[in-house]
Structure 1
Amino acid sequence: MAVTEVYNIKKEKVADIELDDALFKLEVNPHLLHDIVRMQRANRRAGTACTKTRSDVSASGKKPWKQKGTGRARSGSRKSPLWRGGGTVFGPRPRSYAFTMPRKARKLGLRMALSSRFSDDLVLVLDDFRLDEAKTRNFVEVMNNFAIDSALIVVPGSIDSLERSSRNVPGFKVMPTEGLNVYDILLHKHVILLQPCIEQLQERLLS
């Protein structure tokens, strides 16, 4: 079992906590993490890009000129993709880019992402993160105490003062345990876990 220190927001050590090796000491498979991030980004795509084909273009259906005798190339429609203002060939149409991966692979990838941050000594465990006032200055002061400039803060439930004081600070994101995902872990340099979140993660990822 890995052991790490638990701090309060004043950077005072308050306890030690054991972390399950199956959650924080896994060997990382970069290919699996890449696939999961690609899936998450694809699932977030709107897929609303759209071009007009010749059937969508508004134009006359009359033949521009007769077939023979003009000396010009034959033409049957002003909607032809060869003409300026005509339809587009093989252009984008509204579609879904979403795809899925097995649930076991997604859970394994999340454990690997946590293990990657822990092996680099970028996981911080706090006993609590409640601020006296919901002010950006208070939040920045706490982060400066730990010399952290980018972090994903995982909380067991909604902490209004923390969410309000951190939302205007670039590089930080507050997220409940249920929403923890590979992309956001890898997007931020540090991962800050509140102590109750560890038990929740073990129930979610090791069951």
Structure 2
Amino acid sequence: MEKKVYSVDGKELRTINLDDQVFGLPVNEDVIYYAINNELANMRVGTACTKDRSEVHGSNAKPYKQKGTGRARRGDKKSPITVGGGTMFGPKPRDYSYAMPKKAKRLAMKSILSLKAQTDRLTVIEDFTVESGRTKDLVKILNNFAKDERTVLILKDDDAKIKQAGRNIPSLHFLSFNRLRAHDLFYGRRVIILETAAKNLAGFYNSEEGAE
């Protein structure tokens, strides 16, 4: 698949051949769904906790005698049907995370990249950095490709200067080519990828390392 490479000013520079095994695959919607659900489940803290009747503070004494009052039979004040009593079937701390097959996760990332490339929501730009680390310098570049929409910028490495410049932009998400996240990538309205990162993606996701 051929894509145009743009300068930081938004001008066409050249074309680049993107690997069809990463950017030209049929979109597998099922595996994308499972990958996003897996990431969201792994992010859950799972600390919600309620007290059942054995943990609530209160007397174990029977509130009134069993018979003769005309009222329902009651065991103690900690019953779930009593105000201030224990919670019935409430949540307890648990681990929601689970492992997804590595090949499926890799296929999900390639499917999302293919989807973005095929719907013209993926833009390849020349490698750049923001030496000043200032937000307005990065915004000036981004405005040539995306304005006021959720944007994902895929970097070729862990560029601290770009991340420093973009941390005050709420609609911008950074991803490294070897640490993609299905949720951010799928819901990004515009995906901007550096030229070197686009080349590295082919080698990474077609190797055994990319299955990790």
Q: Determine if the TM-score, normalized by the shorter chain, exceeds 0.5.
A: yes
Deviations 1:85-120 (A, max 9, x none): 111111111112222221111101100000000001
Match of 1:111 in 2: 110
**Alpha-carbon distance, 1:47 to partner:** 1.1
Counterpart amino acid of 2:195?
A: Q
CA RMSD of aligned residues (A): 1.5
The answer for the alignment partner of 2:126 in structure 1 is 127
CA distance in structure 1 between the partners assigned to 2:72 and 2:131 by the alignment: 79
Q: How does 1:50-69 map to 2 (within 5 A)?
A: 50-69=49-68
Residue 41 of structure 2 is aligned to residue 42 of structure 1: yes
How far apart are 1:189 and its partner, in Å?
A: 0.9
CA distance in 2, matches of 1:185, 1:74: 58
Does the Cα contact within 8 Å between 2:21 and 2:202 map onto a contact in 1?
Answer: no
The answer as to whether partners of 2:175 and 2:181 remain within 8 angstroms in 1 is: no
Task: Give CA deviations for 1:11-70 in whole Å, capped at 9, x if unaligned.
Answer: 233332111111101111212211111111111111111111001100011121222233
For 1:9 and 1:93, the matched residues in 2 are separated by 51
Instruction: Tell me what 2:28 maps to.
Output: 29
Tell me the secondary structure at the aligned position of residue 3 of structure 2.
strand
- Partner Cα distance (1:8, 1:112) in 2: 26
For 2:90 and 2:131, how far apart are their aligned partners in 1?
A: 55
The residue number in structure 1 matching 2:161 is 161
Alignment of 1:11-22 (within 5 A): 11-22=10-21
Distance in structure 1 (CA, Å) of the matches to 2:73 and 2:160: 70
Query: Take 2:140 and 2:196, find their aligned partners in 1: how far apart are those partners?
Result: 23
Corresponding pairs, count: 206
Aligned equivalents of 1:177, 1:147: Cα separation in 2: 20
Unaligned runs of 5+ in 2: 208-212
CA contact (8 A) 2:112 2:182 kept: yes
**Percent identity for Structure 1 against Structure 2:** 36
Matched, 1:184 2:187: no
Aligned equivalent of 2:76? 77
Is 2:208 the counterpart of 1:202? Answer: no
The question of whether the paired residues in 1 share the 8 Å contact of 2:3 and 2:17 is answered with: yes
Q: Would you say the 8 A contact 1:171–1:188 is kept in 2?
A: no
Q: Tell me by how many angstroms 1:160 deviates.
A: 2.3
User: What's the offset of the Cα at 1:132?
Assistant: 4.0
Matching of residue 171 in structure 1 with residue 171 in structure 2? yes
